Structure 1
Amino acid sequence: MDVLDVLNLGEVSVYFSKMAMFPVFDLAYYIVSILYLKYEPGAVEVSRKSPVASWLCAMLYCFGSYILADIILGVCPIDYFQHNTHILLATAVWYLVFYCPLNLFYKCVAFLPIKLVLVALKEVVRARKIAAGVHHAHHAYHHGFFIMIITGYVKGSGVALISNFEQLLRGVWKPETNEILNMSFPTKASLYGAILFTLQEAHLLPVSKSTLICVFTLFMATSKVFMTATHSHGSPFALVESWVCHLLFGSALAASDDHHAPAPAAPAPAASPVKTKEELSEGTRKRKSKKAE
């Protein structure tokens, strides 16, 4: 505690947790989100053929988590669109990313040093959204721990969870890319973060919310910046998850031995037996006798 008091970490965490996200952090969030949209197959083509569809996809990338969380909590799903400033700011980013002359804006924000800064700022927003989602659900359902977890999880990774719907707007359908089946690092981290914030909200975690927001944000920003810089698609949770899954759910090899494993392929039909020399000679003799008749 003496060290914390000397460094004033408690005051720093409180200030950080109350720091306004608009406009700097939200702007970074919109830029990175729409930048990832442009990486998606067919996104550029859609922006040329149907700007309306492209704009809707961009809005889903920016506000999909709010829309999905509102649906879960029984609120009007377009409620967030009353914030005209946020919508106009996201629209301006969408236009610059897809339609800026000579692609200058895209080249600037995709420049790795700038992109790393923007990615770090986006993770600040993600952590704050998870905490806000859990807090919002706690007010509506005081003892609904699972509702708090789900709401925080959706607030942190709602864009990925509705990615299949967004793909339909782009004319793409890839059900195998379902985020529940193939969870990325931000989606997993959002789930784990929602659990931590729920425990804190229920006073089962002996740490203040401001400190938890600060620590979780630092972890998310550091991990995502490192993964972006190294172009890695791995996960810091991989080692722990592999051990836990092996302990609780069995290994992949064990899973293939149960009755849910796919049935073995049917054996190939046996080839007709090779005829002996005597059988071939007998067949030749019979054909000759028939011709003579």
Structure 2
Amino acid sequence: MDTSWDELTLAFSHTSMFPFFDIAHYLVSLMALKHQPGAAAVAWKNPISSWFTAMLHCFGGGILSCILLAEPPVRFLDNNTNILLASSIWYIIFFCPRDLVSQGYSFLPVQLLAAGMKEVTRTWKIVGGVTHASSYYKDGWIVMIAVGWARGAGGGVITNFEWLVKGGWKPEANEWLKMSYPAKVTLLGSVIFTFQHTKHLGISRHNLMFLFTMFLVVTKITMMVTETTIMPFAPFEDTLRRMLFGWQQQFSSCEKKSETKPSFNSTGSSASKPITDSSDRVKKKQSKKTE
């Protein structure tokens, strides 16, 4: 049983992402781009700008990881086959007669299949980023985590820069301020694979790749079928935030309640009234003496 399991996971870890999984990644990314307001009109008026934006959506993670490692950001242009494949998918999505590609993509089974295949590529990108960073910094596990996260989910950060250039950037949509589910789950995966790479996690890489990929695929498909945006580890994240960062807020709220709480005497009336009454009597006596 163990031998068959190891053979299965090992064969899975050697699966090539080209061309089918890469096609799914480009399809999901570019369909998300097309659904943005005004994206179709920009493609007709300025195809070069639309194509450049599409390449950022498809290869944004690789660009950001190159920037972090001080490598040329245009290194992704070196892979001519992937550039031509992504450009072809961009062309048929935006300029296909009668919008047949979008109509075919509107079926839920097609969306589930493409989204599941895209999550498979996420695992490969995280592992590739961690391994690539370790060739520069063998003991820099923070660098490995950052590059693995950038390779797997850096497209959101790069597209924020593109929105800033176009004048449509919104602070509440910034991945640094409000991380989306893909960014959080990619960060989690980058931490796990970094610990495995540095021998701090006692599990083989191919087994970890298989288990983490199954988690990504099942979670993504479940969220799409149930049409929910609630993250699977949101309760754990809430509990951890309260344990680590909620103590000061709890203490400050208790202090405010104690300061605003009024003091009462035994008769149930406020303690300040007798004081004011006695002061009024003293004033009346002094006025009589002066008269």
Tell me the TM-score normalized by structure 2.
Answer: 0.83
Change (3 A) 1:181 1:257: farther
- Runs of 4 or more off by more than 2 Å in structure 1? 168-171, 251-258
Shift of 1:110: 2.7
Shift of 1:251: 7.2
Change (3 A) 1:207 1:173: same
Change (3 A) 1:101 1:168: farther
Supply the AA of the counterpart residue of 1:239. Answer: P
Residue 17 (structure 1) aligns with: 13
SS of 2:71's equivalent in the other structure is coil
1:233 correspondence with 2:219 = no
Shift of 1:169: 5.2
Supply the AA of the counterpart residue of 2:2. Answer: L
1:249 to 242, 245, 248: 245
Residue 65 (structure 1) aligns with: 61
1:209 to 205, 225, 229: 205
Encode CA deviations 1:173-217: one digit per residue, 9 max, x unaligned: 212200121111111010000000000000010000111111111
Preserved contact between residue 81 and residue 87 of structure 1 (Cα < 8 Å): yes
Gaps of 5+ in 2: 255-291
Shift of 1:49: 2.1
Task: Say what the alpha-carbon RMSD is for the aligned residues.
Answer: 1.8
1:194 to 190, 194, 203: 190
Q: How many residues align?
A: 254
Shift of 1:41: 2.2
Residue 4 (structure 1) aligns with: 2
1:83 correspondence with 2:79 = yes
1:48 to 44, 47, 50: 44
Shift of 1:248: 0.4
Change (3 A) 1:239 1:101: same
Partner Cα separation in structure 2 for residue 13 and residue 75 of structure 1: 32
Partner Cα separation in structure 1 for residue 243 and residue 190 of structure 2: 23
Supply the AA of the counterpart residue of 1:9. Answer: W
Query: What is the percentage of aligned positions where both structures have the same residue?
Result: 41
Gaps of 5+ in 1: 259-293
Partner Cα separation in structure 2 for residue 256 and residue 219 of structure 1: 39
SS of 2:9's equivalent in the other structure is helix
Tell me the TM-score normalized by structure 1.
Answer: 0.83
SS of 1:162's equivalent in the other structure is helix
Preserved contact between residue 60 and residue 159 of structure 2 (Cα < 8 Å): no
Partner Cα separation in structure 2 for residue 171 and residue 64 of structure 1: 19
